[in-house]
Amino acid sequence: MKKSVLTITLNPSVDKSSSVQNIVPEKKLRCNSPKYEAGGGGVNVSRGLKRLGIVSDVFFTSGGRTGRLLEDLLQAEQLNISPFHIGEETRENFMVLDTASNKQYRFGFPGERLTQAEQKKILTRIMVMNPFPDFVVISGSLPAETDQDFIRQLVGTCKSKGSKVIIDTSGEALKTAVEEGVFLIKPNIGELAALVGKEKLEETDVDEAAQFIISQGKAEIVVVSLGSRGAVLFSANEKIQIAAPDVEVKSTVGAGDSMVAGMLSVLIQDGNYKEILSMGIACGSATTMAEGTGLFKKENVERLYKEIQKQ
């Protein structure tokens, strides 16, 4: 039976990207025409799944003129959107490429707070979904001052409906979700260290930390991102490490979200752990080949996946 997917993005954005030659202070810089794309963790996961031919439902907060633009951008990509309208304006992010140095400058904004009433309504809206999705991805940053108990309740609600929850966030939100217990997490080494109460971890300590989280029932699968070196997947009985392919990196925006999309595309087809991690790395690496805030091209994913499978 075909498995269903819901992505939840509580702090989405409209990502504006441009380029200019030589970024210098106190000078009017004449940028090239901007490009606007939908952004935010879960939103990007759904955009990635769409490129892989997989349908998902996209739940996200939306407010003001930026929220309307976000909805238009997602509809243009023919995604199944489910916006939750809020009183504050949806945030924007801004990226500029200095064509002289080929360096990218990324400016991210925090997003306005969700009111207590809005948080309660979101929980209700999720709770009454019928049929409930097989997989729920809660991904991206949280708006300022979001109650951590809200994340606990959100994860608990999805689990109570029999859904497998994938969390890709950071800070207190990640710690709270993991305490509730989830299906899969994708921390980097720094985030993994925080989850086990340490200031930092050496790479040799990663195995012990990941297995501790799994043994405590806080996650079934832990995928530790190693950046340009690839990633390592842990389950109760397996450890699989795969190096990232050598590609020309143009931008890292959306690479982590693309990795989640790639892994999920194999998970819903009951693929094995090596296939899951391979596709995740292929999608993440392919996204770094795209300029600005663009995501991967499917043909690049297919080529990189074949290369990775040969490792």
The Cα–Cα gap between 117 and 88 comes to 13
Alpha-carbon Rg for the chain in angstroms: 19
Q: Which residues of 282-311 are buried (b: 16+ CB within 10 A; e: fewer)?
A: bbbbbbbbbebbbbbeeebbeebbeebeee
Beta-carbon count within 10 A of 190 CB: 13
CA dihedral 144, 147, 148, 153 (to 10 degrees): -130
DSSP string computed for 91-159? EEEEEEEETTTTEEEEE----PPPPHHHHHHHHHHHHT-SSPPSEEEEES---TT--HHHHHHHHHHHH
Q: How far, in whole angstroms, is CA 167 from its chain's centroid?
A: 8
The reply to whether 57 belongs to the active site is no
Tell me the two tokens of residue 193.
């260290």
DSSP string computed for 80-93? EEEEEE-SSPPEEE
Contact in structure between 280 and 260 (CB atoms under 8 Å): yes
Burial class (CB in 10 A: 0-12, 13-18, 19+), 188: middle
Beta-carbon count within 10 A of 172 CB: 13
Q: Which of 98, 149, 168, 257 is catalytic?
A: 257
Q: How far, in whole angstroms, is CA 116 from its chain's centroid?
A: 25
Give the catalytic positions in this structure: 257
